[in-house]
């Protein structure tokens, strides 16, 4: 039975993929293909050592990806009506996410599969607890994404803070500031991306009434959010490594700038979160490459000006187009 | 004869108790209506019966092998047509496609089965799910708010289809806020209230009068106080 259901799900996914690809505008399709090819090429050529550490990282990455696979309740209800269809669908999704590991090394792929299979099995058996007993407190800091902040990330962000704090203390004991600052930047970066790269519905954006109001409010919210993410661990790092305050302050500023960068890119490519994520990471790589020479460094402000120009143009168009369709 | 026996059924979400010690018994050959206020636990009851959610108590499904459920907010896969969705559902339940029957039923619902189902309106999507469920010939049918979003003509067709289906030994449970519709087709009527359930035997006009009386009293009291 499970084989038949797997076949059905795979056929459904192939049909959906084929039709979705046909609908992507050619320019976006070219960009996506370039990115996919270059990532595959990079993974194939990169000489990643297969050690206990790297295999553990692969396992953790796969687990992280698996936990991000969430089905809406009505999809689960539909799939559960048919024998073994929900496990078949979840298994297909988790196995699909293991494929990138195959490009790096077959052992990484095996590890990813070894994580994906028990994860699927446990997820099918275990019913997620509905946490409606936890009150969703109104937040002055997250007016736009108050729901997301309180219901989805109320555990995630404190967990990241605790993780940064624990590693920072260990780094202090070993007098290794590099470890502390890498964990600080990495942890806050992941938090910012996870919370900010959530897609809002177009009707939600429409409540801002016009482009300039939208840009002002989202900029304020982004800066406040990023400060909340980055400030507590930075305050913790300062007494642990007082002599390194310039590096900590610089990292904090970088987080704020990266958040703004992400905000602009998110709405340049809205509603496609995939394209926005791809461009965001490619953009960071490009900026890193530019910092190699002083001439490149001088180009970075122009890159940001360009981004802001497109952000302004796109958000303005978004509101004016919506106005027209109202008639 | 198919039978659904619910004994001491309880269900809670966190600290919120939705169903408390429910004892109900339904037999095939009748349409069983379920009413209750918003949040009374109608959908939760259906999800317990369909094994979609864990619960405390016992639900015995005598001679019931296949269950079909229409949720209040049905899901649709992206980029597939209505016809492909029906075929997918039939294959997933290992049922043969009866194209003639499908076309006959669709003559009533008038769905554009060659168009992407994700672009259907709420009512059309509901009709598509109903069509898929009717073609599967399930032993137990759980319909959560099937009349919501349906136009008058389609609601009438649905009522008549359900009346026909009860003769085929199917056990049918229908929840709805449309009491007049429900009473017209139901053999039994269950009310869910404050976590418990009881069968109602009054006539439609008596039930409607009771609701009207309660509403009038409450609204009057509210305006007198303020």
- Measured between alpha carbons, how far is A273 from B114 in angstroms, rounded to an integer? 29
DSSP chain B: --EEEEEEEEEEETTEEEEEEEEEEEETTSEEEEEE-TTSSHHHHHHHHTTSS--EEEEEEET---EEEE-SS----TT-BHHHHHHHHHHHTT----HHHHHHHHHHH---TTSBGGGS-HHHHHHHHHHHHHHHT-SEEEEESTTTT--HHHHHHHHHHHHHHGGGT-EEEEE-S-HHHHHHH-SEEEEEETTEEEEE-S-HHHHHHHHHHHHHHHHHHHHHH-
Our CA-based measurement puts residue A92 at a distance from the nearest CA of chain B, in whole angstroms, of 15
- pTM for this structure? 0.72
Checking if the pLDDT of A102 tops 50, the result is yes
Q: Where are the domains of chain B?
A: 3-225
Q: Where are the domains of chain A?
A: 2-17+25-125, 146-325
Give percent of chain A above pLDDT 90: 32
Residue A303 has which token pair?
A: 């890159």
Q: Which of A298, A284, A289 is nearest to A254 (CA)?
A: A284
Strands B31-36 and B188-193: parallel
Least confident of A269-273, A321-325, B12-16: A321-325
Q: Which of A323, A204, A193, A317 is nearest to A261 (CA)?
A: A193
Query: What residues pair up with B143 in beta bridges, in sequence order?
Result: B70, B174
Residues of A in contact with B69 (CB under 8 A): 77, 81
Q: How confident is the model at residue B225 (pLDDT cuts 50, 70, 90)?
A: low
Residues of B in contact with A4 (CB under 8 A): 91, 94
What would the pLDDT profile of B159-190 be if each residue is shown by its tens digit? 999 988 888 888 999 998 888 788 888 888 89
What would the pLDDT profile of A119-167 be if each residue is shown by its tens digit? 998 888 765 444 444 444 444 444 444 444 445 566 777 888 899 999 9
Domain B3-225: assigned CATH number? 3.40.50.300
What would the pLDDT profile of A25-55 be if each residue is shown by its tens digit? 788 788 778 877 887 887 787 778 888 888 9
A85 and chain B: CB distance < 8 Å anywhere?
Answer: yes
Residue B207 has which token pair?
A: 């039930």
Q: How confident is the model at residue B106 (pLDDT cuts 50, 70, 90)?
A: very high
A238 or A289, higher pLDDT: A238
A81, A82, A130 member nearest B14 (Cβ): A130
What would the pLDDT profile of B109-167 be if each residue is shown by its tens digit? 999 999 999 889 989 999 999 999 999 989 999 999 999 889 989 999 999 999 888 88
What would the pLDDT profile of A219-254 be if each residue is shown by its tens digit? 888 888 888 889 999 999 999 999 999 999 999 999
DSSP A93-162: HHHHHHHHHHHH-HHHHHHHHHHHHHHHHHHHHSPPPP-TTS-----SS-TTTHHIIIIISTTHHHHHHH
DSSP type of residue A25? -
Nearest residue in B to A124, CA atom: B52
Q: Which ipTM score applies to this complex? A: 0.86
CB pairs under 8 A between A and B: 64
What would the pLDDT profile of A157-202 be if each residue is shown by its tens digit? 788 889 999 999 999 998 889 999 999 999 998 888 887 777 777 7
**pLDDT for the residue B204:** 65
Residues of B in contact with A92 (CB under 8 A): none
A228 and chain B: CB distance < 8 Å anywhere?
Answer: no
Q: CA neighbours within 13 Å on the CB side: how many for A287?
A: 16
Asked, as a colleague might, if the bond just before A213 is cis with ω within 30 of 0, I would say no
Q: Find the chain B residues whose C-beta atoms sit closer than 8 A to any C-beta of A.
A: 13-16, 47, 50-54, 67-69, 71, 73-75, 77-80, 84, 88-89, 91-94
Q: How many CB atoms lie within 10 A of CB B153?
A: 11
Task: Please answer yes or no on whether A78 and B71 come within 8 Å at the CB atom.
Answer: yes
Our CA-based measurement puts residue B74 at a distance from the nearest CA of chain A, in whole angstroms, of 6
Task: Please answer yes or no on whether A132 and B74 come within 8 Å at the CB atom.
Answer: no
């Amino acid at each position: 039975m499970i084989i038949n259901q797997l076949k059905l799900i795979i056929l459904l996914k192939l049909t959906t993929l084929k039709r979705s690809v046909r609908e992507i505008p050619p320019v976006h399709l070219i960009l996506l293909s370039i990115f996919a090819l270059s990532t595959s090429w990079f993974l194939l050529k990169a000489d990643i050592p297969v050690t206990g550490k790297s295999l553990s990282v692969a396992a953790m990455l796969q687990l992280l990806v698996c936990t991000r696979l969430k089905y809406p309740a009505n999809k689960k209800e539909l799939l559960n009506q048919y024998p073994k269809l929900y496990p078949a669908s979840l298994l297909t999704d988790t196995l699909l996410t293991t494929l990138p590991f195959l490009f790096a090394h077959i052992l990484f792929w095996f590890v990813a599969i070894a994580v994906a299979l028990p994860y699927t099995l446990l997820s099918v058996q275990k019913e997620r607890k509905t946490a409606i007993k936890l009150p969703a407190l109104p937040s002055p800091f997250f007016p736009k994404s108050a729901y997301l902040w309180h219901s989805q990330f109320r555990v995630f962000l404190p967990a990241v803070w605790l993780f940064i704090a624990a590693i920072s203390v260990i780094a202090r004991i070993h007098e290794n500031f590099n470890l502390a600052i890498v964990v600080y930047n990495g942890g806050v970066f992941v938090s910012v991306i996870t919370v900010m790269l959530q897609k809002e519905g177009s009707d939600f954006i429409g409540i801002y009434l016009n482009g300039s109001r939208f840009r002002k409010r989202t900029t304020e919210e982004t800066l406040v959010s990023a400060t909340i993410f980055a400030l507590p661990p930075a305050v913790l790092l300062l007494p642990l490594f007082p002599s390194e305050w310039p590096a900590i302050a610089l990292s904090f500023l970088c987080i704020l700038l990266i958040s703004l960068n992400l905000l602009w890119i998110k709405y340049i490519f809205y509603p496609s979160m995939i394209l926005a994520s791809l461009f965001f990471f490619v953009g960071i790589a490009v900026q890193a490459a530019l910092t190699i020479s002083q001439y490149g460094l001088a180009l970075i402000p122009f890159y940001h000006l360009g981004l802001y120009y497109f952000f302004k143009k796109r958000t303005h168009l978004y509101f004016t187009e919506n106005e027209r369709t109202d008639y | 004869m198919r039978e659904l026996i619910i004994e001491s059924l309880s269900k809670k979400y966190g600290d919120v108790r939705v169903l408390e010690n429910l004892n109900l018994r339904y037999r095939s050959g009748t349409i069983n209506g379920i009413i209750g206020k918003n949040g009374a636990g109608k959908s939760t009851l259906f999800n317990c019966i369909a094994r979609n959610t864990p619960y405390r108590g016992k639900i015995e499904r005598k001679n019931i092998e296949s269950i079909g459920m229409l949720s209040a907010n049905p899901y649709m896969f992206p980029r597939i047509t209505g016809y492909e969705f029906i075929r997918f559902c039939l294959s997933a339940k290992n049922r043969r496609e009866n194209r003639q029957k499908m076309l006959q039923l669709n003559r009533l619902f008038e769905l554009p089965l060659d168009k992407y189902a994700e672009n259907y309106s709420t009512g059309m999507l509901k009709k598509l799910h109903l069509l898929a469920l009717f073609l599967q010939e399930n032993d137990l049918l759980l319909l959560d708010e099937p009349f919501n979003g349906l136009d008058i003509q389609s609601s009438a067709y649905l009522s008549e289809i359900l009346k026909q289906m009860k003769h085929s030994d199917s056990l049918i449970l229908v929840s709805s806020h449309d009491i007049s519709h429900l009473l017209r087709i139901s053999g039994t009527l269950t009310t869910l209230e404050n976590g418990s359930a009881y069968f109602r035997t009054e006539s439609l006009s008596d039930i409607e009068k009771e609701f009207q009386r309660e509403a009038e009293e409450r609204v009057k009291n509210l305006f007198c106080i303020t």
